Amino acid sequence: MLMRRLVNATGVILHTGAGRAPFGPALLERAGRILAGYSNLEVDLESGERGRRDSLVAEPLRALTGAEDALVVNNNAGAVLLALHALGDGRPAAASRGQLVEIGGAFRLPEVMASGGVELLPVGTVNVTRLEDFRRALDAGASLVVLAHRSNFYFRGRYEDPRPDEVVALAAEYGRRVLYDLGSGLLSASLFPEFVSANEPSLENLLDAGVDVVSFSGDKLLGGPQAGVVVGKAEALEELRRDSLYRALRGGKETYALLAAVLEAYLEGGDALEDIPTYRLLKRSRADLDKLAAVVAGYFREAKVPGLEVSTVEAESYAGGGTLPYVRLPTTVVALRHERLRPHALSAALRGLEPPVLARATGDAVFVDMRSVLEDDLPLFKNAARRLSVRLERRESV
């Protein structure tokens, strides 16, 4: 099966199965100017000598985050693996039991720690970890403290964690570093004040807290390509660069070009942020959602799909991709109900179209959710509705 364009109408913006962050024409144009020919991937244009590819994104990352240094590898799992291998020194690393996460694809932090050559030293309990728990681990010889964002679940009820700045201060007493796995890649809560709490872990507040090394995914809330981005203190990142795993995990020219395009848009700010589809979809207003739903509902009605009832409904959707699990985004969906087909059969019929339409079967209907529908998807919907009509007409005639 070849890779194909599809319409993501699930409402999940960072849908892992559908490729997470989409790029859109503006970002592709920015990156395409580089990728259309040769580039200075590893050429120092001033000296003419071989350069270092990380320098291409280190400067914009430093400017954007305030970090001392930055580097990029192929994904965040690789970033965590590299940091553990380089900084853990093959000795025990302390991590809270309440942060030993598993994300999609059976990525489990304890197993990645083992692969990174460090022995897990779990501290605290599932719901309560205190600063003294980390102190005991450091007294027992922990060489590194690992903190992780609960990016795909959250606690309700009683739970307790020490603040990152408290952990950093404690680790500094022992001459130890703190690694924070911020999978979600949230630059700052101020980007999305409508629904993100100021207390949500972000690059901004973690670096302000003095965390030595922060890793995150490029294709989540940042809205860029698959990449593991590492920012933090220069001395620590230089150790990562010297590690034998770094060359095996580094990204290619496509990653650097696309990531540079996204970072450039953030640095420009203002209207340039609208060039980043993930940002635009997360910020989409109710009025815009309603307009899109009216257009798509009209396409299905015009196609006169046999036995199909079409309506628009207010609902909720998610950012997805292991980010902001507590956030429910208001959305508008086109609800499709068929007089004979059950929702799962109808959603399968939509996936079988060209282009495939990925929607969600729920209750007695299929929801075509506007939250994740790109503006360029609208003409594709028109063709999909016509093809669905033809397909169901044939089905009825059999």
CATH code where residue 131 lies: 3.40.640.10
pLDDT greater at residue 392 or residue 68: 68
The CA-based dihedral angle spanning residues 212, 216, 222, 224, taken in that order and rounded to the nearest 10 degrees: 120
Do 246 and 291 lie in one domain? The reply is: no
**What digits encode the pLDDT tens for the residues 122-152?**
999 988 899 999 999 999 999 999 999 877 6
**For residue range 229-240, what is the model confidence (pLDDT) as tens digits?**
999 999 999 999
Q: Is the domain of 114 the same as that of 75?
A: yes
N residues, the chain: 398
Same domain, 189 and 329: no
Residue 241 in domain:
yes
Does residue 111 sit in the same domain as residue 229? yes
User: Is 17 part of a structural domain of the chain?
Assistant: no
pLDDT digits (tens, 9 = 90+) for 278-336: 999 999 999 999 999 999 999 999 998 889 999 999 999 999 988 998 899 999 999 99
**Do both 55 and 117 map to the same domain?**
yes
> Does 66 lie in the same domain as 121?
yes
Number of compact structural domains in the chain: 2
Range of the domain at 342: 281-397
- Do residues 332 and 27 make contact, with C-beta atoms less than 8 angstroms apart? no
Residues 355 and 226 in one domain: no
Are 123 and 171 in a shared domain?
Answer: yes
Shared-domain flag, residues 141 and 228: yes
- The pTM of the full predicted model, rounded to 2 decimals, is 0.93
> Is 24 domain-assigned?
no
At 398, the pLDDT band (50, 70, 90 cuts) reads: very low
Rounded CA gap, 253 and 49, in Å? 18
Same structural domain, 206 and 333? no
Helix (H, G, I), strand (E, B) or coil at 72: strand
Q: Decide if 268 is inside a domain.
A: no
End-of-domain residue from the set 251, 266, 300: 251
pLDDT tens string 17-66: 999 999 999 999 999 999 999 999 999 998 999 988 888 899 999 999 99
200 and 63 co-located in one domain = yes
- Contact of 112 with 145, CB cutoff 8 Å: no
Residue 5 inside a domain? The answer is: no
Helices (H) and strands (E) in the chain, counts: 14, 15
226 and 295 share a domain? Answer: no
Longest dimension (CA), the chain: 77
CA 295 to chain centre: 29
Instruction: Check which CATH number belongs to the domain holding 353 and give it.
Output: 3.90.1150.110
263: in domain? no
pLDDT at 396 over 60: no
